Amino acid sequence: MNQSTRKQSQEMLVIRPQGVAEGIQAVLAVRSQKTVVLDLTSMDKALAQRTADFVSGGITAIDGLEHRLGDHVFLFTPAGVQVSLK
């Protein structure tokens, strides 16, 4: 892995979307080898669920990984990123 790829994969974004369509930012970031924390806590429950489902489907399609950190807070990573949740 070259240095620019290594540096890019170490970047983490926190995304707080206001709607389902903004969730695509999370999928695009993971596709670009970035780790994403998706915080849906400011959304109403139904919209948060739709957004989580949308992003989860996109992440699965690009072979990314999903980890639930809390109620309506998720961690999405590119394949190959090791995550230890304790």
Confidence of residue 10 (pLDDT cuts 50, 70, 90): confident
Judged against a pLDDT cut of 90, whether residue 9 lies above it is answered with: no
Domain boundaries, the chain: 3-77
Q: For residues 86 and 24, give the distance between their C-alpha atoms in angstroms, rounded to a whole number.
A: 28
Judged against a pLDDT cut of 70, whether residue 1 lies above it is answered with: no
| Domain 3-77 in this protein, CATH class | alpha beta
Judged against a pLDDT cut of 50, whether residue 8 lies above it is answered with: no
Describe the crossing of helices 24-31 and 45-61 by its angle, rounded to 10 degrees.
30
Average pLDDT over residues 32-47: 96
Residue 31: other Cβ atoms inside 10 A: 15
Q: What is the dihedral of CA 31, 54, 82, 85, to 10 degrees?
A: 160
Average pLDDT over residues 45-67: 96
Judged against a pLDDT cut of 70, whether residue 33 lies above it is answered with: yes
